Structure 1
Amino acid sequence: MSSPAMAELRWQPPAPVDLVRTLRPLCHGAGDPTARFVNGTFWWACRTPQGPGTLAISAAGEQLHARAWGAGADWLLAATPDLLGAGDDWSELDVSGHPVLRQARRNRPGVRLTRTGLVLDSLVPACLEQRVTGQEAFRAWRLLTYAYGERAPGPAEPRLWLPAEPARLLEVPSWDWHRFGVDAKRYRAVRAAATVAGRLEECVGLAASQSIAAARQRLALVPGVGPWTVAETTVRALGDPDAVSVGDFHLSNIVGFALTGAPRTDDATMLELLEPWAGQRARVIRLILLSGLTPPKYGPRYSPQDMSGI
């Protein structure tokens, strides 16, 4: 059997790019069928405006080598610089006044915010991640993709799958959502997003022609999509430099601990602490998460419930 047709690009970024830490947020768990790292190469399968495609990016000295397959190959290669943060300018971010942020920035100079330009690919996993543990959400995303997605174009390995199309998401019956461990509130949010998928993809152009705030407002009109889900989507799909996932179970405590040493912080206090970096809060949060600092844990851990067996 002949090898699938491949297009490729070698790109010299204007500054060093940390490939792993820039693109890791696109991987929803270690077993994500659509995105993963294999021996230092990032593999990603998605549905582009030009059709299905698979992208592989690896470092080649100071250059980055991108290979792509499928109908969406040309689109993916054109999008590669944005995916690697070419439009993400950290030059105005001043973290010199805080030792944790200053050290994190010094240690990770190549970190950027990615920008996929694909809204639904980030929105659906974010809906599944609402109010549950990562373990539960990643399992649901994996099972949904295997059941309603399809094999991605390109090499047989690493066996990537395309996420389910909007029409297929609308076909998922309630008993399959139950089998995937997804409660009614979350799968209704996914269905609502799939129903207006075309209008949501317009958020990419809306952010470019008007503002990211306008794109956030459109996303927030979808039933079941609140501030947390909007932020988780825009930071990946639009490279939103000011996205803050308000309502996250852990984030406020992590931010508060890194910036003040307090073991517990609520959302309101977190927003006050981040206010000096308004407009760039997603970058500050990224540095905090990369610092490795975590607050002490108190009380029993939350134990996920497997609702698929109920």
Structure 2
Amino acid sequence: MTLTATAPAALSAVLEPEGAYSLQASVSPLQCGPRDPTVVFRDGAVWMAFRNEDGAVTLRLTQRGGLRQCSVQATAWGPGAAAALVSVPRLVGLLDDWSGFDAPAFASGLPELARKGRYLQPGLRLPATGRMLDAVVRVILEQKVTGLEAKRAWRYLVARFGDPAPAAPDAPVELRLPPTAAQWRRVPSWEWHRAGVDSKRSAAALRAAGAASGLERLDGMNAAGVHAGLCSIPGIGAWTAAEVLQRTHGCPDSISVGDFHLAAFVGAALTGKRTDDAGMLELLTPWAGQRQRVVRMLYASGFRKQAYGPRLSPEDHRRR
């Protein structure tokens, strides 16, 4: 990877993925809803704003070429630009290795729906941000609420307490940096309330912000170490740790035990019947080490479980 100056205060790099690759499919899980101010899809480009050890970054990613032969153009602005470009291969999933999953001996034993999903999404890779606090706070906001509530809370808090992203030509005006640990700690109780975040989740987020330096050290640890470190913080359990690992480490085996929908989905996809967490883990046992990939491919297949009863309704904590 070669860095070149493209404009004052800008650096760029071009990366060439090996094998099939889709930038949008790979980095979509990093966006907290279509109005996430930290990850914006606009006119064929992916814009991200974040901080690294050198400072704030605005990053633009574009894919040139097709699925089977392409390049990824990355351009970064801000004091953290050089470090951001070094992190891009991991960030966009280019270091994610599917060779074991795609090996004939393994692939032949996969469920039919997982094989279908891999056929439909051959360019999907698992991204890894390495940014622990950002992921932890976002996932805490997703605990025990609907996706709509969690996305609104994240959007409100980032817009209210995050900083503007480093200036870049044609960058989306809504692009903002997630709050730092210090900024999260300064969010007053009534602003959590206005964001629709109850006291348990706000308290967990504040504890995570208080342990930010320790959290960031988890980036260099394996999945078991990260899981144990996260679960040592009150308010963070197995579900939250698994969801964080999927985003920060691109963990191919991380399963979200305790998810409101996942066990029933996996049971319906693999057996035609819903199941619970224990049943889900038993069903996925043959693919230990690759269970998250299997789940992603089940979703990629287009399979949807039958819905029963009314949808879960959002709760408005702001009027309490």
Which of the five TM-score ranges fits, normalised by the shorter chain?
A: over 0.9
**Are the structure 2 counterparts of residues 4 and 266 from structure 1 closer, same or farther at C-alpha, using a change threshold of 3 Å?**
farther
1:103 Cα deviation after fit: 1.1
**Are the structure 2 counterparts of residues 101 and 292 from structure 1 closer, same or farther at C-alpha, using a change threshold of 3 Å?**
same
Separation in structure 2 between the aligned mates of residue 154 and residue 67 of structure 1, nearest angstrom: 12
Alignment-derived partner of residue 95 in structure 1: 107
Residues 99-138 of structure 1 correspond to what in structure 2 (within 5 A)? 99-138=112-151
Of residues 258, 275, 292, the one that matches 2:285 is 275
Separation in structure 1 between the aligned mates of residue 163 and residue 283 of structure 2, nearest angstrom: 44
Deviations 1:142-193 (A, max 9, x none): 1100111010013263121000110111111111111110001101110010
Alignment-derived partner of residue 246 in structure 1: 257
Deviations 1:254-278 (A, max 9, x none): 111111121x221111111111111
Alignment-derived partner of residue 143 in structure 1: 156
Deviations 1:177-226 (A, max 9, x none): 11110001101110010001011110112x2xxx2211211111111011
Q: Contact 1:7–1:74 (CA<8 Å) still a contact in 2?
A: yes
Gaps of 5+ in 1: none
Q: Contact 1:36–1:42 (CA<8 Å) still a contact in 2?
A: yes
Separation in structure 1 between the aligned mates of residue 218 and residue 186 of structure 2, nearest angstrom: 24
Deviations 1:279-309 (A, max 9, x none): 1111111111212211111112211121113
Q: Does 1:70 align with 2:85?
A: no
Q: Contact 1:59–1:65 (CA<8 Å) still a contact in 2?
A: yes
Alignment-derived partner of residue 184 in structure 1: 199
Of residues 47, 50, 55, the one that matches 2:59 is 55
Separation in structure 2 between the aligned mates of residue 102 and residue 297 of structure 1, nearest angstrom: 24
Separation in structure 2 between the aligned mates of residue 142 and residue 276 of structure 1, nearest angstrom: 39
Q: Contact 1:257–1:293 (CA<8 Å) still a contact in 2?
A: no
Residues 6-21 of structure 1 correspond to what in structure 2 (within 5 A)? 6-21=10-25
Q: CA RMSD in A?
A: 1.3
Alignment-derived partner of residue 46 in structure 2: 42
Q: Does 1:217 align with 2:225?
A: no
Deviations 1:89-131 (A, max 9, x none): 1111223232111111112111110011111111111000000
Task: Between 77-86 and 90-99, report the one with greater CA deviation.
Answer: 90-99
- Percent identity reads 46
Alignment-derived partner of residue 258 in structure 1: 269
1:49 Cα deviation after fit: 1.5
1:253 Cα deviation after fit: 1.4
Of residues 167, 171, 175, the one that matches 1:157 is 171
**Are the structure 2 counterparts of residues 4 and 185 from structure 1 closer, same or farther at C-alpha, using a change threshold of 3 Å?**
farther
Separation in structure 1 between the aligned mates of residue 308 and residue 128 of structure 2, nearest angstrom: 36
Q: Return structure 1 stretches of 4+ with deviation > 3 angstroms.
A: none
1:84 Cα deviation after fit: 2.0
1:4 Cα deviation after fit: 6.0
Gaps of 5+ in 2: 1-6
Alignment-derived partner of residue 4 in structure 2: none
Give the TM-score normalised by the residue count of structure 2.
0.92
